Structure formats: C-alpha cells, structure tokens
Amino acid sequence: MNAKETSTRIIEEIFGAGNYDLADELIAADAVGHDPALPEPVKGPEGLKEAARGYREAFPDLKLTVDMAIAEGDYVAVRWTARGTQKGELFGIAPTGKQATVTGITIDRHTGGKVAESWTNWDTLGLLQQLGAVPSATQVV
C-alpha cells in the first residue's frame, strides 16, 4: 500500500465508515494529529479512534470521500468532503437532524508505512452555520 492509499483509507474507512481497528494498521504508535476543532492533539491509534468515534456518534451516517490526493516525499495532502446527519451532540450542540456537507484538507507525514503526524483544517464555521449554531451571511443581512 502506498502513502496516498494509506491517507485515503484513514479518511474514507476510519472516519467515513467507522472501521476503527484499521487505525492500528495505519497510524504510528506515537503519532500526533492536529485538528483545530478538537481541544487537544490526537495521540496514536487510540486517540484517532476516539476522535473518529466522537464525530461518528454525532453523525452516525457520516461519509467521507477523498476528492484529491497529492504526494511529495514523505508527505501526502488530501482534499476531502464529509457528509452526514447530526443525530448526536457535537461541540455542545444538541442533535438537530440537519444534514451538513463540509470540506477539509489533511496533510499527513508518513514514516515506515504509517502516518506519524497529520495536520487538518476543515470548514468548522460552515458546519456550525449549517447546523444553525452560527448565522450565515444570508441570514444576518
């Protein structure tokens, strides 16, 4: 499996399908993940499983698809789209039943066939707007 496939499987299979055990195969034991939406860095396979579970408990039908992957050296940049229906609490927002579609970009650093560090930036504001927690421009003006 090459680095692009590894990064794609983390997004689509762990976060997008709830195949949590795959984290043991694809994430280094001392890996660190940075997601500005989470209160602290994600550490190792267990941390990633916990983060994915948190998002999937809020959005049980969550699906992520990788739209593009670019590799250079040990790094892979992945552009992805996430879609789901909020059925559980997220960031203190009670279930709304609303569907949301957000995009994000994750850059992974690979070592020894596993991801050792990753940086994610995704459309958190867009999600909050779609859930009605923050007004969108069209609602405010």
Partner 1 sequence: MNRVSEGADRAQMSMASTFPTPDHMPCPSCGASVAIADDFGAHVCDDERRLEYRLTELRVEIERFTDDLASWLDTPHGRFALWLAEHER
Q: Which residues here bind partner 1, judged by CB under 8 A?
A: 83, 85, 87, 95-103, 123, 125-127, 129-132, 134-138, 140-141
Question: Nearest 5 degrees, angle CA 2-CA 84-CA 36?
Answer: 65
| Closer to partner 1 by Cβ: residue 118 or 130 | 130
Q: How many CB atoms lie within 10 A of CB 52?
A: 24
> What are the residues whose beta carbons fall under 8 Å from the beta carbon of 135, sequence distance 6 or more?
129
CB of 88 to partner 1, least distance (A): 11
| Closer to partner 1 by Cβ: residue 113 or 135 | 135
Q: Are 24 and 114 in contact (CB under 8 A)?
A: no
Q: Are 91 and 84 in contact (CB under 8 A)?
A: no
Question: Nearest 5 degrees, angle CA 88-CA 93-CA 89?
Answer: 20
CB of 55 to partner 1, least distance (A): 16
CB of 138 to partner 1, least distance (A): 6
| Closer to partner 1 by Cβ: residue 8 or 129 | 129
Tokens of 78: 């992945």
| Closer to partner 1 by Cβ: residue 66 or 82 | 82
- Scanning the structure block, which residue is given the tokens 């939406």? 37
CB of 43 to partner 1, least distance (A): 30
CB of 22 to partner 1, least distance (A): 26
| Closer to partner 1 by Cβ: residue 20 or 122 | 122
